[in-house]
Amino acid sequence: MTRAQLFEQILKKKSYLCIGLDTDPKKLPQHLLDFEDPVFEFNRQIIEATADLCVAYKPNIAFYEAQGPKGWVSLEKTLEVIPQDIFTIADAKRGDIGNTSELYARAFFESMDFDSVTVAPYMGADSVKPFLVKDGKWVILLALTSNPGSQDFQMLKLADGSEEYLFEQVLRTSATWANSDQMMYVVGATQGEFIERVRAIVPDHFLLVPGVGAQGGSLEEISRLGLNQQCGLLINSSRAIIYASSGEDFAEKAREAALEVQREMEGYLEKYVG
C-alpha cells in the first residue's frame, strides 16, 4: 500500500487507529475454544467488527510464534480475512545481516503478504535495506520504544557534540536509507515530550505509536504534537480494544472501544489536519 492510499483510507474513515492483534490463546472467550482454530476465529470476529473504524491491523508475531507451526497457520488465515484496503503490519522486530534479513523480508512480504514489518535498528543499514524491496512495502523501524528499557540505550547521549540521543541518530541515519514513502518509525507514546524532537528530524514520516491506552500515553497530546499534513500517525491500541470484554460479546465491545477512539481521532483530524 502506498502512502497516498493509506492517507485516502484515513480521510475516508476519519481514523488513524491501528488495532493490535496480540491474540493470547489464554485470554480467549470460553465459547471460542470449540472452534478448530480459536485464535483465528477470535481475530476474524474482531476484524469483522472493527474494519470500518481502523486503517491498520498489527499482529505481534510473538503471539503466533509461541504457538509453534499452528500459530503461523492462524496468522496466515488472519491475514487473508483482513480487507485489502487496510494496512497490515507484521510486528516482528526482525533484523539480521543482509542476506539473512532478505529471508525475513521474503517471509513477511512474499510467503505472507504484509504491507510492512517492524525492524530493529541495532545491526545497521545492511540489516534494514533488504526490507526496502519494492514500492508499497514498508519498514517500520524501532526508534524510541514505549517500554522502560528504552532508557538503557535509546536515550544515551552521543559524543558528536550534537547533544542528541541515540534514537535521534537512528532517525537521522535511517532517513537517508529510505524516504517517507517506504519508511515509518515506532515512537513510544508514553514519552510525549519526545514527539517534538522526532518531528524535528522526520517531519513527513508516518509514526507508529504504541502505548496509547494500556501503556498510558495520551491520545490528545500525541495527536497535537505528531499529526502532519498527511496525518503521519498510526496509533496502536491492542488490549484495550481486543480484550474490552472476555465474554460472548467480545467483538461488540471491541467495536465500542474502537468507535470511542475513532471519534476522538475524527476531532483531531479536523482540528490539526483540516
Give me the active site residues, please: 93
Positions in 116-135 near its own copies (CB under 8 A): 120-128
Distance CA(67)–CA(86), nearest Å, equals: 25
Stretch that binds its own copies, among 9-17, 115-123, 242-250, 254-262 (CB under 8 A): 115-123
Phi, psi of 158 (to 5 degrees): -95, 155
x/- map, 12-31, its own copies, by CB under 8 A: ----------x---------
Q: Tell me the residue type at 164.
A: E
Distance CA 202, CA 247 (A): 42
Cell numbers standing for residue 123: 545491526
Q: CA-to-CA distance for 131 and 116, rounded, in angstroms?
A: 9
Q: Is the CB of residue 144 less than 8 Å from the CB of residue 150?
A: yes
Residue from 23, 43, 78, 145 binding its own copies (CB under 8 A): 145
Does residue 175 belong to the site contacting its own copies (CB under 8 A)? Answer: no
| 11, 32, 73, 259: which one binds its own copies (CB under 8 A) | 73
Distance CA 55, CA 8 (A): 10
Q: Pick from 35, 156, 267, 270: which binds its own copies (CB under 8 A)?
A: 156
Q: Is 118 left (phi over 0), alpha (psi -120 to 50) or beta?
A: beta
Among 15, 23, 88, 154, binds its own copies (CB under 8 A): 154
- Find the shortest distance in angstroms from Cβ 153 to its own copies: 6
Among residue numbers 180 through 209, which ones bind its own copies (CB under 8 A)?
Answer: none
Whole-angstrom CA distances from 158 to 122, 144, 165 are 15, 15, 6
Mask for 81-100, x = binds its own copies (CB under 8 A): ------------xxxxxx-x
- Whichever of 101 and 262 has its CB closer to its own copies, that residue is 101
Nearer to its own copies, 55 or 79 (CB): 79
